Structure 1
Amino acid sequence: MFRKDVLPNGIRVVSESVSGVRSVSIGVWVCVGSRHEPKEINGVSHFIEHLFFKGTKSRSAQQIAIEVDSIGGEMNAFTTREGTTYYVKVLDEHIPLGIDLLSDILLNSSFEPKDIETERKVILEEIKMVEDTPDDMIHDLFTQSVWPDNPLGYSVLGTRENIRSLNRASIVGYIDAHYHAPEIVISVTGHFEHDPLIDLLTKHFGGLTRNGGLPETSAPAFRPGLYIKRKELEQVQICMGTVGLPQSDEDRYALYALNAILGSSMSSRLFQEIREDRGLVYSIYSYVTSFRDAGLFVVYAGCDGSNAAEVVRLVMASLADIKAKGVTEAELKRAKDQMKGNLMLSVESTSNRMSQLAKQEIYFGRHFSLQNILDDMDRIEGGRVHALANRLFAQGQVGLSVLGPVSKKEFPDDVLAC
């Protein structure tokens, strides 16, 4: 059973009691991420996420870890471009401890100078790790290259220079300025009773009285074209893509179907032609990333440098083909069945259900039942997918980022023509 409550301080609580499980997933979703950061402190949201686990007025970092481990629970966090999430997954009998731990780190963290210095080194190592993982790094490079003048293009991790310069005052000041009760959604899914849950959340989070708003944001302008970062690698990493759709766009399900047909699975067009038939890549896939007011449709591939231009050409030919001919009934049916199957399997996890509830509240301000979503998937029409492909894959509106031992001269001037 789904229910929405608002705590006296303005924190929204969305919860869904699920029978037949013993786990409970609790997430605190703070609607501030890297897109809300001034350029000079880009990376502060992710730095804050790390520091919340370094100790509170009553618990050390080790004590926090021991308490979670001693009940077989999981506690973690992640930062995105539009938010920062802190979550715990525990057995139903440990709900009070899970909520106490989350509220303690979020309301009572001490931010000791020595812990800030320790975590600064950890994050600098994390940046190095990403730079040494080219199939991760290329996605950030692509976003930065197509959205160069907008905070949505910033790296979530920030730059080395920013991480080295952030101090306690700027970190605590950022929390005070942006961690406001109305900008927080608490999402809970699993085995629990609603009224006692709300009582616990009110007790532990009701003391958060900061109020205010987030910085104003603007939708990014998409910059097409070729961007190359030369680096000595065994493989060339490729990301190419177009404008996508915002989270709440009415064509979002048509976009999901287009993604499934083009490249999100082993039966997709790109995987079958470029990997299975031609053997040019080991990994190739497409994905959709959506935000409040913008989105991207992206294709990734990793290949030998001698094949890079050919892989790009084949991807562009596939985009052109779907623009010209649309999708078949068989492809559309398979995409719908794939989407519905993935959804049904995902809701068997209380963690996934918790995330879905939170995102629905953040981006739509309402709850969609499982049947609502399945019905929307059933209503996808081939003509709508075809029209969307023509809208997104417009001539001259494709961005291409390449990481590896290649140069621009290896890519013909018309390589992005579709």
Structure 2
Amino acid sequence: MYNVFKLHNGLRVVVEKIDYVNSVSVGLWFKNGSRNENKENNGISHFIEHMLFKGTENRSAKDIAEAIENVGGQLNAFTGREATCYYIKALDSHLDLSLDVLSDMLFNSTFNEEEMEKEKSVVIEEINMGEDSPEDVLSDLHSYAIWGEDTLSYPILGTEKTVKSFNKGLLKEYIDSNYTPERSVISICGNVDLNKAEQLVERYFGHWSAKEKNTLSYSTPKILKNILYKEKAIEQVHLSLGLEGLSLGHKDVYPLLLINNFFGGGVSSLLFQKVREELGLCYTVYSYSSSFINTGAINIYTGVSPNYVYDAISVIKEEIERFPKEVINKFNLDIAKEQIKGNYILGLESTSSRMFSNGKSIMFLNKINKPEDIIKKIDEVTYDKILEVIDSTFTKGIFNCALVGNNVEINKVKNILK
């Protein structure tokens, strides 16, 4: 059972009641991430995420953690390219406490200067840790290869230079401009009374008003043709190939999910069976779709020995070219549907996963995608629609590539992909 409503201040709320659980998950969502930043403040959304845990007028950083952990709950947050979410999972008897803590963090954080300097060091270490992870380096490098100078390619953590430049005034100014009720969502899922949940949200967030009214606008970046390479002294070469995908909320997102699942979504996929099982070129190879506002991409990732880089790229390119010609048959389409439905339903077995799904859906699409509706949309995908979506994505071929490793002759890569 769902209850979707909006407070007088514009804050959207979605509550899903599940009778057979003893937990509740609460998420405070903001339609704000690294894409909403600029070169000077890149990383500020992620830094604010850290600072909201560092103490309020009512609770120290330790008090915030203990308030939830002492009752057996979990408190965390994440920052993405287009959204930030602070969330708590606890027993269903602690909904009041969960909303109290989240509202306290949002409205009463002190942004203590001493704590801020400590946290700058923590985030810089997080950036350095990312530099030691070739997958993280590859992700940022390929984002730049896909979208170039568009803010969508900005690193979520920012840079050491930008992080060092942050101060209390800058953080509070950014929050006043971007963390507003109209751009936010509260998602609650679990064994809760719908009327009580509405009353509690009103109590803790009803007074919230925007100090500034900023209109959100998003670019429509084109998928660029690029090949980028970063030298790194590691054993493998990590590479990512990019194709044109679909934007967030596109009507053909479910056909694309089926297509991607068949092409590179699991160990039975065409890509895995060819590149790993038949040729033994790698340990891991997979594809996935990334959808954002006004744009989207399909990524293919693998990590290989420097001796196999060119073979791997050539084979993947051949499989992409072969795929539209030897497309999914109707039998395989039915299998793909069952796989996607199974993965989706199993992924909703916890209150937190359903809270995330509901919050993101209300945030970006302003509607609830109920499980039965999604299952129906998957079942309704036709063979002709599959052909149509393959033609608008895979048939266009590889647009861009990013590689991280050493002993790579970039001209050889360019010759393969041209």
Scaled by the length of structure 2, the TM-score of the pair is 0.97
* 1:108-123 to 2 correspondences below 5 Å: 108-123=108-123
Contact 1:326 1:383 in 2 (8 A): no
Contact 2:184 2:363 in 1 (8 A): no
How much has 1:396 moved relative to structure 2?
Answer: 6.2
- Point out where structure 2 has 5 or more consecutive residues left out of the alignment: none
* Equivalent residue letter for 2:192: F
Contact 1:25 1:354 in 2 (8 A): yes
How much has 1:34 moved relative to structure 2?
Answer: 0.7
1:145 aligned partner: 145
- Inter-CA distance 261–321: structure 2 relative to 1 (3 Å threshold): same
- Taking only aligned residues, the RMSD between alpha carbons, in angstroms, comes to 1.4
1:372 aligned partner: 373
Q: Percent identity?
A: 35
1:324 aligned partner: 325
> SS in structure 1 opposite 2:325?
helix
The answer to which of 366-375 and 28-37 deviates more is 366-375
> SS in structure 1 opposite 2:40?
helix
Contact 1:53 1:105 in 2 (8 A): yes
* Equivalent residue letter for 2:119: E
* 1:96-175 to 2 correspondences below 5 Å: 96-175=96-175
* Equivalent residue letter for 1:20: Y
1:199 aligned partner: 199
1:339 aligned partner: 340
Query: 2:414 & 2:330 partners in 1: Cα distance?
Result: 35
Contact 2:306 2:408 in 1 (8 A): no
Query: 1:390 & 1:314 partners in 2: Cα distance?
Result: 20
1:306 aligned partner: 307
Task: Please tell me whether residue 94 in structure 1 is matched to residue 94 in structure 2.
Answer: yes
Query: 2:334 & 2:185 partners in 1: Cα distance?
Result: 36
> SS in structure 1 opposite 2:9?
coil
Please give the per-residue CA displacement for 1:152-195, whole angstroms capped at 9, x wherever unaligned.
01111111111111111111110011111111100111100011
> SS in structure 2 opposite 1:247?
coil
1:237 aligned partner: 238
How much has 1:207 moved relative to structure 2?
Answer: 2.2
> SS in structure 2 opposite 1:95?
helix
Query: 1:161 & 1:215 partners in 2: Cα distance?
Result: 26
Query: 2:118 & 2:225 partners in 1: Cα distance?
Result: 40
Query: 1:59 & 1:395 partners in 2: Cα distance?
Result: 55
How much has 1:258 moved relative to structure 2?
Answer: 1.1
Task: Please tell me whether residue 220 in structure 1 is matched to residue 221 in structure 2.
Answer: yes
How much has 1:151 moved relative to structure 2?
Answer: 0.3
How much has 1:213 moved relative to structure 2?
Answer: 2.6
How much has 1:36 moved relative to structure 2?
Answer: 0.7
1:405 aligned partner: 406
Contact 2:218 2:293 in 1 (8 A): no
Please give the per-residue CA displacement for 1:324-362, whole angstroms capped at 9, x wherever unaligned.
222122321221111100111122111111111112212
Query: 2:141 & 2:101 partners in 1: Cα distance?
Result: 36
* Equivalent residue letter for 2:100: D
Query: 1:214 & 1:334 partners in 2: Cα distance?
Result: 44
The answer to which of 389-398 and 99-108 deviates more is 389-398
> SS in structure 2 opposite 1:262?
helix
How much has 1:368 moved relative to structure 2?
Answer: 2.3
Contact 2:244 2:396 in 1 (8 A): no
2:72 aligned partner: 72
Contact 1:36 1:214 in 2 (8 A): no
Contact 1:146 1:399 in 2 (8 A): yes
1:35 aligned partner: 35
Contact 2:19 2:191 in 1 (8 A): yes
> SS in structure 1 opposite 2:283?
strand
1:271 aligned partner: 272
* 1:7-22 to 2 correspondences below 5 Å: 7-22=7-22
The answer to which of 17-26 and 211-220 deviates more is 211-220
Please give the per-residue CA displacement for 1:257-301, whole angstroms capped at 9, x wherever unaligned.
111011111111111111111111111111111112111100000
* Equivalent residue letter for 1:105: M
Q: Which of structure 1's runs of 4+ aligned residues deviate more than 4 A?
A: 394-397
Query: 2:46 & 2:344 partners in 1: Cα distance?
Result: 29
> SS in structure 2 opposite 1:288?
strand
Query: 2:407 & 2:325 partners in 1: Cα distance?
Result: 31
Query: 1:360 & 1:395 partners in 2: Cα distance?
Result: 29
Query: 1:30 & 1:380 partners in 2: Cα distance?
Result: 32
Contact 1:55 1:64 in 2 (8 A): yes
Contact 1:73 1:89 in 2 (8 A): yes
- Inter-CA distance 70–309: structure 2 relative to 1 (3 Å threshold): same
The answer to which of 354-363 and 90-99 deviates more is 354-363
How much has 1:23 moved relative to structure 2?
Answer: 0.7
The answer to which of 18-27 and 207-216 deviates more is 207-216
Scaled by the length of structure 1, the TM-score of the pair is 0.97
Query: 1:412 & 1:47 partners in 2: Cα distance?
Result: 37
Query: 1:298 & 1:109 partners in 2: Cα distance?
Result: 39
- Point out where structure 1 has 5 or more consecutive residues left out of the alignment: none
Task: Please tell me whether residue 4 in structure 1 is matched to residue 4 in structure 2.
Answer: yes
Contact 1:326 1:382 in 2 (8 A): no
Contact 2:243 2:397 in 1 (8 A): no
Contact 1:9 1:209 in 2 (8 A): yes
Aligned residues: 417
1:385 aligned partner: 386
How much has 1:246 moved relative to structure 2?
Answer: 1.0
